Amino acid sequence: MKNKNIKSDGVVKRIIALVFPYRIQLVFSLVFAAAYVALSLFAPIVSGRAVDAMVTKNTVDFDAVFRYAVIYACVVVGASVCQWLMTHLTNIITYKTVLKLRRDLFYKITDLSVGYIDSHAHGDILSRVINDVEQLSDGLLMGFSQLFTGILTIAATIGFMISINIPIALVVVVFTPLSLFVASFIAKNTYSMFKKQSEIRGDMTSLIEESIGGAKTVNVFGRFDETAEKIAKTGEELRKCGVRALFFSSITNPATRFVNNAVYAAVAILGAFSAIKGGGITVGQLSSFLMYANQYTKPFNEISGVIAEFVGAKASAERIFDLLDEKSVESSLSGNKIPEKAQDIDFSSVSFSYSPEKPLIEDFCLSVPYGKMIAIVGPTGCGKTTLINLLLRFYDVNSGEIRLGGVPVKELELNSLRRSFGMVLQDTWLKNGTVAENIAYGRKNATREEIVAAAVRAHADGFISSLENGYDTVINEDGDNLSQGQKQMLCISRVMLSLPPMLILDEATSSIDTMTELRIRRAFDEMTEGRTSFVVAHRLSTITKADLVLVMKNGKIVEKGTHEKLLESGGFYKTLYESQFETE
């Protein structure tokens, strides 16, 4: 319980730290809030004096009533202006804080290792960035706009009531702890419910994102009913948890309102008897006192709502900070950048496994001279793509070292390291935008002529020109309006345009027809000339021109050499090669 309280306090401190950069706006917001409260509490005094001017025996002081009416109108207008300015500044603080938080989360995600992304549901990560930040935003809005004004109103109202009649004011003060106890008790018991609700909401987002992304597969295999049932089950858990959380949070306001109404009734009865018996309070003062009693109790209702909202916001903030506190991929402190001309690459006693129980790559050594094409082949799961992930630091090695030009990759600036490689993968990725924007993704300042030239070299210009709007055709993030082969050709065009010093081709033509593949292979031959390139291939006919072929099995190099020499040796590579042409 102690650790939980420490963690909870830490969350609150971090929320305050988020707002601190906007302290100037916060100060002005508090000033306007204080002015709003002062004017709001001055209004009952004016109103009470106007009442006393009308209930004087046998006469009504119309001049005084008119004067007080004008003053009252000015006070109300002034209070409204101050409230608007306070709310406006509060909104600025909140939305700027949320904007910074979402930016920090986005950059954090880009800094996280691929291992973290692979081991966490994407929907849950999305829920933290969208839903939890939204929940925190609502909590901040309510907190700043109501908490301070509520506390200030309570304190100032007590002072005004004491100045009018001490005994009746004491009755109000005596009932105050009861209202606070009710709100505090409910808030403590709803925190865990709101936290669980946020977690289930993340699971629901993940399920829906997964189902929509794989809608075709779900329907082809007839798993729609099962998926729908799973979503319905999670939705039912969310409903039950949400109902409990909302029920307990929603009874806060009625419970405190009941206590406050009891206070109001007690003040009205005691004040009336006191005014009738001439107990030091006039009718006008009693009307002012009743208005103060109402204003005094109202903030308790608002504060109880703020507490309930803040409990949910704190639970969301904890999930947000958990993501921000995840360990990022360490970037070089020295900031060494990759030279424009690629260097030799050395793998020295590299060992790596995704989990300690299942070793994958052990004591791997390899030296890749600059400008050579290295083909990596082997059965599925032997570690081919893992080597690429280690080279780009999507994962860090468990032991050993990878050096580029004699410099360990951990000492190189991360962005510089990754931008020096061009990648074409079997799994294509396109962003929501035009064809031209997707091709120019690696070179944002590329001209239309350069974009078209890259597409021509990738033999993608033909199908692009046949699209309704050519290079200005908008494709969605999944590229559903393109075939898999067309999407892969756009990814090839992207690399053709950027032309980095080193290339990684991981089954780069797996979805392309044979004739087009032959043409693209010629373009690849030109592109890889003078560049260090790694080619991961299952179709061994595509790597016959490689300078060095690495044959991997169970995370180790079992054979290496040129295509011809490996065939002559009659080893594992020859078995793989002949198995692909067995039918022929």
The reply to whether 316 and 285 lie within a common domain is yes
15 belongs to a structural domain: no
The reply to whether 283 and 395 lie within a common domain is no
Residue 166, pLDDT score: 78
The reply to whether 35 and 129 lie within a common domain is yes
Q: Are 326 and 113 in contact (CB under 8 A)?
A: no
89 belongs to a structural domain: yes
Q: Which residues have a Cβ under 8 Å from the Cβ of 582 and sit 6 or more positions away?
A: none
The reply to whether 303 and 395 lie within a common domain is no
User: Of 324, 353, 371, at which residue does a domain stop?
Assistant: 324
The reply to whether 190 and 230 lie within a common domain is yes
**Strand ranges, E, within 113-250:** none
pLDDT in tens, 415-470: 778 778 888 777 777 888 888 888 888 787 888 898 888 888 888 888 888 888 88
User: d(Cα 86, Cα 504) in Å, to the nearest integer?
Assistant: 56
- The DSSP bridge partners found for residue 373 are 533
71 belongs to a structural domain: yes
Residue 77, pLDDT score: 92
The reply to whether 312 and 355 lie within a common domain is no
The reply to whether 225 and 369 lie within a common domain is no
User: d(Cα 134, Cα 260) in Å, to the nearest integer?
Assistant: 31
The reply to whether 448 and 307 lie within a common domain is no
Q: How many domains does the chain have?
A: 2
340 belongs to a structural domain: no
Residue 6, pLDDT score: 42
Residue 2, pLDDT score: 42
**Percentages of the chain per state (helix, strand, coil), in multiples of 5:** 65, 10, 20
Picking from 373, 366, 357, 339, the residue whose alpha carbon sits closest to that of residue 500 is: 339
What residues in the chain have per-residue pLDDT under 50?
Answer: 1-6, 332-333, 583-584
Residue 280: helix, strand or coil by DSSP?
coil
The reply to whether 290 and 370 lie within a common domain is no
User: Of 291, 324, 357, at which residue does a domain stop?
Assistant: 324
User: d(Cα 225, Cα 164) in Å, to the nearest integer?
Assistant: 70
Is the whole-model pTM more than 0.75? no
pLDDT in tens, 242-269: 787 777 777 766 777 777 777 777 777 7
Q: In which domain, by residue range, is 381 found? A: 345-580
User: d(Cα 91, Cα 138) in Å, to the nearest integer?
Assistant: 10
How many other CB atoms are found less than 10 A from the CB of residue 273? 10
* C-alpha to C-alpha distances, 375 to 8, 513, 537, nearest whole angstrom: 53, 21, 7
Q: Tell me, what CATH number does 482's domain have?
A: 3.40.50.300
The reply to whether 288 and 367 lie within a common domain is no
- The DSSP bridge partners found for residue 401 are 348
The reply to whether 240 and 98 lie within a common domain is yes
Q: Tell me, what CATH number does 282's domain have?
A: 1.20.1560.10
C-alpha neighbours within 13 Å on the C-beta side of residue 502: 27
Cα dihedral 356→359→365→369 (10° resolution)? -90
Supply 70's token pair: 């004008």
330 belongs to a structural domain: no
The reply to whether 36 and 94 lie within a common domain is yes
